[in-house]
Amino acid sequence: MTLEILTADTLAPLRHGFFTRKGGASSGVFEGLNCGTGSTDQTEIVAINRSRVAAALDVPEDHLASVHQIHSSDAIHVTGPQTEKPRADALVTATPGIALTVLSADCQPVLFADAQAGVIGAAHAGWKGAQGGVLETTVDAMVALGANRENIHAVIGPAISQRAYEVGPEFFDTFLDEDPDNTHFFAGGDGDRMHFDLPGYGLARLRAAGVGSAEWTRHCTYYDADRFYSYRRSVHAKDPDYGRLISAIVL
């Protein structure tokens, strides 16, 4: 099966994509293009999936740069093929031929580019990382490499939508303590439950950081099981594990 790769006009002409689960070699709960090395999927099958991603991006497999994601605000500067996977949640580079990648399964995968300056970035932004500042950290790291903040385009890929993201009062209080205006990102649910707009929150943080443009592809990971993996959906289904989607950009 052919890979399905979602792209954004604002990131063109750079090679990039938010890969769906289509076209992969995994089976069972991981059926499709599971690129999560931390999953319980077969290691050799995940390697096959990642090799297909590298081929689609036209880079050697060892040029797929990644991090051990920990829901932090940390960004690393990649200058060449990696010998280890640092603990962080964002990557930036000004080195041609390196594919910056992040994994997700409801959290926001965010790709960044200032094509004019020749600087790119990628971030994994769940609610904790986004609130902690990983998006701003990525932008700052790109600026440190020569990017112009106003020329940076940021695109949020497939992520859990507000209608699927039910949260409790403690979660709401965490965001209210940060900023009373964050109530705009919550809608009422049953009882004391609410629904959080993660992509809306991410877009607001990106725009406040002064990037030239910020958008969401408007694909919900939870409600489209044929195309996307979803951690929350796997919990509701009582699945033993779940696949991870990969998103990537190459200078």
- Convert the pLDDT of each residue in 15-44 to its tens digit: 999 999 999 999 999 999 999 999 999 999
In one-letter notation, the amino acid at residue 117 is A
Judge whether residue 1 has pLDDT over 70. Answer: no
Residue range 207-215: average pLDDT?
A: 98
Q: Where are the chain's structural domains? A: 5-161+197-250
CB 224 within 8 A of CB 209: no
Query: Which of 234, 232, 244, 71 has its CA nearest to residue 166?
Result: 232
Q: Strands, DSSP E only, in 31-78? A: 64-65, 75-77
Query: Which of 103, 150, 141 has its CA nearest to residue 120?
Result: 141
pTM score over 0.85: yes
Q: Which CATH superfamily is domain 5-161+197-250 in?
A: CNF1/YfiH-like putative cysteine hydrolases (3.60.140.10)
Average pLDDT, the chain: 97
79-103 pLDDT, tens digit each: 999 989 999 999 999 999 999 999 9
Q: What is the DSSP letter of 67?
A: -
Considering only the C-alpha atoms of the chain, give the largest distance between any 2 of them, rounded to a whole number of Å.
Answer: 52
Residue with tokens 């052919």: 2
CB 52 within 8 A of CB 3: yes
Helix H or strand E segment including 167: strand 166-167
Residues 56 and 65: their CA atoms lie apart, in Å, by: 15
112-123 pLDDT, tens digit each: 999 999 999 999
Judge whether residue 124 has pLDDT over 80. Answer: yes
CB 242 within 8 A of CB 46: no
- What's the CA angle centered on 198, arms 224 and 89, to 5 degrees? 95
Q: Which residues contact 206 (CB under 8 A, 6 or more apart)?
A: 110, 135, 139, 154, 156, 214
The pLDDT value given to residue 159? 98
Residues 104 and 33: their CA atoms lie apart, in Å, by: 12
Residue 9, Cβ density class (10 Å: 0-12 exposed, 13-18 middle, ≥19 buried):
exposed
Structure tokens at 226: 């044929």
